[in-house]
Structure 1
């Protein structure tokens, strides 16, 4: 049985087009983002006191903002990246946990915990609009 190259090309193109345009049965086009915006704003509000007061994450009275006022020197937009302290390419949540366990002397948070999500949401929000200098961070 001989298959022509043109037939294979047509089948391949159809397959790729199908993958690119197919939506899972449960997926819907997003037309109203207000619910997601409200959830993100709520997450930011919950993250702010965690970042500034260490309410749940510290054990020694030190808060994130004492070393990183307004998120300085964190650059959430640059992750994943190599972190010298961890000795590997890491995600933002891993570096946050390093800070919680070391300078803050607290207990690490699960990567998918609500507190971790809220801290990351707050950091992302306060760093929005800052200029990114590629290769600097």
Structure 2
């Protein structure tokens, strides 16, 4: 039987069914696409500009702290870079100084610390300033710099402040290796994720400290690892806390709030969180009142204002020594 235009009715029915199938298929593909877009994932750039995606590790609705094992580092140039980055992170001063042309050159490159001195386990210890996920949060705005900084910028910031040394050149293989390592241990963490283990080492309301009490506590509890003169016993066993082998006063730990918070959360080893706010503040004040190198260009920091008052620079160190320091002013309590 034909319709008025002469097409067989079975053929018309077949065309209609085929069209319906195509519409349903396209609808299904769109739904699948939307579901994939909603799923947590990470897009990261690896060597050569290649992009990879990995599922976000989630535990109980939160991002899990679960860095990959170094046993699983890929073979080839990328794997070599990751392992080099690990060595540079874990034994920064030892590696860079041993490879310098002369001992004097090595001392100019870096002080006696390592990244692990503050970021335990080469940044993989969840409870001690972990760097897992750091490649997912940079670039980011940093008030101290007054601009958006890259991960490379942040590493170099540590090199000239916490490591009291020299920046890496932009094309330095060691800088690229450190980025490769930090990217590797951040594998699977989506860009912009909230990470519960970040920004924990800060005391928001620091008590007015007693420097003499801090010295007594230091002599009782800290000398075994950090030595009586603060020179330390090793970058990863007892880092130098003051002097030329330690961080300069442009580092984050040169601030009372950050030092007191770090001490309370991480010290003494094996008895973390056992110190009161007052004890941590006393220790921080004693440590930060000791001599250390000055950061050469502090006037360039916080260009947009809101410079913190608790930076223990040379002026404040001298005030502690001559008994004129106003701790209420330093701690913003006035």
Partner in structure 2 of residue 59 of structure 1 = 110
What SS does structure 1 have at the residue aligned with 2:76?
helix
Is 2:136–2:192's contact at 8 Å kept on the other side of the alignment?
A: no
Partner in structure 2 of residue 76 of structure 1 = 135
What does 1:1-137 correspond to in 2, within 5 Å? 38-54=76-92, 55-56=95-96, 59-69=110-120, 70=123, 72-73=130-131, 75-130=134-189, 134=193
Q: Give CA deviations for 1:49-91 in whole Å, capped at 9, x if unaligned.
A: 1111112285221111222232515711111110123221011
Partner in structure 2 of residue 9 of structure 1 = none
Structure 1 runs, 4 residues or longer, greater than 6 Å off: none
Q: Give CA deviations for 1:8-43 in whole Å, capped at 9, x if unaligned.
A: xxxxxxxxxxxxxxxxxxxxxx9xxxxx95111010
* Structure 2 spans left out of the alignment, 5+ residues: 1-49, 51-73, 98-108, 125-129, 199-334
TM-score by length of 2: 0.28
Distance in 2 between the 1:124 and 1:79 partners?
11
Partner in structure 1 of residue 61 of structure 2 = none
TM-score by length of 1: 0.63
The 1:62–1:102 alpha-carbon spacing in structure 2 relative to 1, beyond 3 Å, is: same
Give, in angstroms, the shift of residue 133 of structure 1.
6.0
State the number of aligned residues: 103
What SS does structure 1 have at the residue aligned with 2:83?
helix
* Structure 1 spans left out of the alignment, 5+ residues: 1-29, 31-35
The 1:79–1:132 alpha-carbon spacing in structure 2 relative to 1, beyond 3 Å, is: closer
What SS does structure 1 have at the residue aligned with 2:141?
strand
The 1:102–1:111 alpha-carbon spacing in structure 2 relative to 1, beyond 3 Å, is: same
Distance in 1 between the 2:184 and 2:161 partners?
24
What SS does structure 2 have at the residue aligned with 1:116?
helix
What SS does structure 2 have at the residue aligned with 1:89?
strand
What SS does structure 1 have at the residue aligned with 2:166?
coil
Distance in 1 between the 2:163 and 2:144 partners?
15
Distance in 2 between the 1:66 and 1:133 partners?
27
Distance in 1 between the 2:179 and 2:153 partners?
11
Give, in angstroms, the shift of residue 131 of structure 1.
6.7
